[in-house]
Amino acid sequence: MSEDFVRIFDTTLRDGEQSPGCSMTTPQKLILAQQLADLGVDVIEAGFAAASPDDFAAVKAIAGVVKGSTVAALARCQQHDIERAAAAVENAEKPRIHTFIATSDLHMEHKLRMSREQVLASIAQHVSLARSLCEDVEFSAEDASRSDQEFLVKAIEAAIQAGATTINIPDTVGYAVPAEYGALFAYVKQHARGVENVILSSHCHDDLGLAVANSLAAIENGARQVECTINGIGERAGNAAMEEIVMALRTRPGFYGVQTRIRTQRLYPVSRQLVALTGSQIARNKAIVGENAFAHESGIHQHGMLRNRSTYEIMSPEDVGVPRSSLVLGKHSGRAALADRFKALGHELDEEALNRAFVAFKDLADRKKEVFDGDLEAIALGSSGDETGPWRLTSIQLGGRIGQGASPEAVIEMVHEDGRSVRQNALGDGPVHALFSAIEFATGFHYGLSDYQVRSISTGEDAQGEARVKVHAEGRDYHGRAVSTDVLEASALAFLEVVNSFERRRQFLAQSAAA
């Protein structure tokens, strides 16, 4: 590929994670970071290193393992932020510091309480500091789309002169429209001195539903980096969806004339991985990766598809990793057939992972008549993205009457990694409440249940159920997910994942304080 290509800057782990309900633990972030690197993402924004010890540790961990992709850490135009960002990415194969300050009069007056001259001085000082600590520095003019254009050019020139290698012109609040946003890039290219020596980047939010359209308009006018997220997650209405931008460029090469380095066959599997890790579901009619994206119900459409797929499909589902058929496997299916189906679903499992998956598949096949693609995806992704923990559930028993006025009883047995074994019973308003109460009493974990969902992930009366739990404790949200043919077992395991995440965080904070 020539040097004239669009770099994909993925901010799922930073801006995306700021979306309510999408927070991830460090082990979960590591899983997704590896997936993003395999996808071919050029830059992975791993987090805001100065935000908390947890965020710093996550960025540092990601920087230490990711190969091929640049790993970026976000920092305000403040010395402490930039130094923390530099320390977090210092071991990255390709590190980047991404620093920002607002340039709109609205933000400068009411948020920063700084004059234009003070903002320009801060840009020069802090971009220079970042460049002294890292060769690859990106500067973002926050709220650029609502900034005075002449002042925006001065801010960009100051950043370029101080050593920035990438200049981001974000539509921070999703206010711009495509023609206007594209014209802004054209204006900067025409008027900013030194702009020919840097990469121009777009970063769009979806408040008016225009994030992808604005990003494409920026590309038409010279942007060669696009900041986006998997499934379009992000603050408020979200960010530009990576999969939509990538496939627009791939599907319309004659119009845009530029491509990305993304391995598009990995888009659907990575989308599903994010859903598994965060519990943030996507609409069935979501472009590219939604369940209905390649489904045809209309008789006229089906007739056309049978004659020629291109009548109603402008891209191939295989191009984005969407399985074309739903192959049914059973207890007599072998390892080779299983491996082949995982590959078709976009999961390249190594020998050790395949062995674990085969054991889980056989166990499931013994309990179900048929194993569907949804079941296999659940096995490939694991019952959660973060299964290790101090507590392990060994037995569940439910008794008592169920119904109006009844109080079901749950009896559980658990073991802790320190050797403790606990047997606990509890009554509840229903069986799930009884299970959660028993786990709470056994572990000493006190919580506020924010959300609880159960759904079927395959078909038939013996379909597997997926349980998702969201809990608020000590000022943070914790998420749990588990899959089982028994929805009560799935519910208990999902809640236990929350308990383990909470206890691991406490252990981490205690170790950090001791250090």
169-212 residue pLDDT tens: 999 999 999 999 999 999 999 999 999 999 999 999 999 999 99
- Residue with token string 């045809």: 296
> Measured between alpha carbons, how far is 484 from 70 in angstroms, rounded to an integer?
38
Structural domain contains residue 311:
no
* Structure confidence at residue 2 as a pLDDT band (50, 70, 90): very low
356: pLDDT strictly greater than 60: yes
> Measured between alpha carbons, how far is 156 from 150 in angstroms, rounded to an integer?
10
- What pLDDT score was predicted for residue 161? 98
Report CA dihedral (451, 375, 239, 128) to the nearest 10 degrees. 100
Give yes or no: residues 204 and 346 share one domain.
no
Give yes or no: residues 184 and 135 share one domain.
yes
* Structure confidence at residue 150 as a pLDDT band (50, 70, 90): very high
Give the tokens for residue 12. Answer: 């799922």
Give yes or no: residues 373 and 416 share one domain.
no
Percent of the chain with pLDDT over 90: 57
302: pLDDT strictly greater than 60: no
Give yes or no: residues 368 and 490 share one domain.
no
Give yes or no: residues 12 and 134 share one domain.
yes
Q: b/e map of 121-155 (b: 16 or more CB within 10 Å)?
A: ebbbebbbbbbebbebbbbbbbbbbbbeeebbbbb
- What pLDDT score was predicted for residue 401? 62
Total domains in the fold of the chain: 3
Give the tokens for residue 473. Answer: 């404790």
Instruction: Tell me the per-residue pLDDT of 414-459, one tens digit each, with 9 for 90 and over.
Output: 999 888 999 999 998 889 999 999 999 999 888 788 888 888 776 6
Q: Give the residue-averaged pLDDT of 79-89.
A: 98
| CATH number where 172 lies | 3.20.20.70
Q: Give the residue-averaged pLDDT of 96-114.
A: 97
| CATH number where 400 lies | 3.30.160.270
Structural domain contains residue 80:
yes
- What pLDDT score was predicted for residue 19? 73
Structural domain contains residue 67:
yes
308 CB-contact burial (10 Å; exposed 0-12 / middle 13-18 / buried 19+)? exposed
Q: Any idea which of 8-22, 74-88, 126-140, 337-351 has the lowest mean pLDDT?
A: 337-351
Give yes or no: residues 104 and 162 share one domain.
yes
Structural domain contains residue 306:
no
Residue 35 burial (CB count, 10 A): 19
Q: What does pLDDT average to over the chain? A: 87
Structural domain contains residue 270:
yes
The H-assigned helical ranges of 40-91 are 53-65, 79-89
Instruction: Tell me the per-residue pLDDT of 357-398, one tens digit each, with 9 for 90 and over.
Output: 888 888 777 766 667 666 777 677 665 434 467 898 999 998
Give the tokens for residue 378. Answer: 């659940």
Give yes or no: residues 358 and 400 share one domain.
no
> Measured between alpha carbons, how far is 158 from 136 in angstroms, rounded to an integer?
16
Say if pTM beats, i.e. exceeds, 0.95.
no
Structural domain for 373, as ranges: 324-381
> Measured between alpha carbons, how far is 235 from 290 in angstroms, rounded to an integer?
20
Give yes or no: residues 156 and 266 share one domain.
yes
- What pLDDT score was predicted for residue 60? 97
471: pLDDT strictly greater than 60: yes
Structural domain contains residue 287:
no
Give yes or no: residues 235 and 373 share one domain.
no
Query: What is the DSSP code (8-state) at residue 308?
Result: -
Q: Which of 336, 363, 381 is the last residue of a domain?
A: 381
Q: Which of 246, 278, 310 is the last residue of a domain?
A: 278
Give the tokens for residue 501. Answer: 């995440």
> Measured between alpha carbons, how far is 236 from 227 in angstroms, rounded to an integer?
16
Give yes or no: residues 250 and 334 share one domain.
no
Structural domain contains residue 386:
no
Give yes or no: residues 495 and 430 share one domain.
yes
485: pLDDT strictly greater than 70: yes
Q: Give the residue-averaged pLDDT of 35-62.
A: 96
Structural domain contains residue 284:
no
Helices 116-133 and 149-161, packing angle to 10 deg: 30
20 CB-contact burial (10 Å; exposed 0-12 / middle 13-18 / buried 19+)? exposed
Give yes or no: residues 216 and 334 share one domain.
no
- What pLDDT score was predicted for residue 388? 60
Q: Any idea which of 88-92, 139-143, 371-375, 421-425 has the lowest mean pLDDT?
A: 371-375
- What pLDDT score was predicted for residue 145? 98
- What pLDDT score was predicted for residue 101? 98
Amino acid at 489: E
Amino acid at 214: N
Q: Give the residue-averaged pLDDT of 156-170.
A: 98
- Residue with token string 């840009």: 123
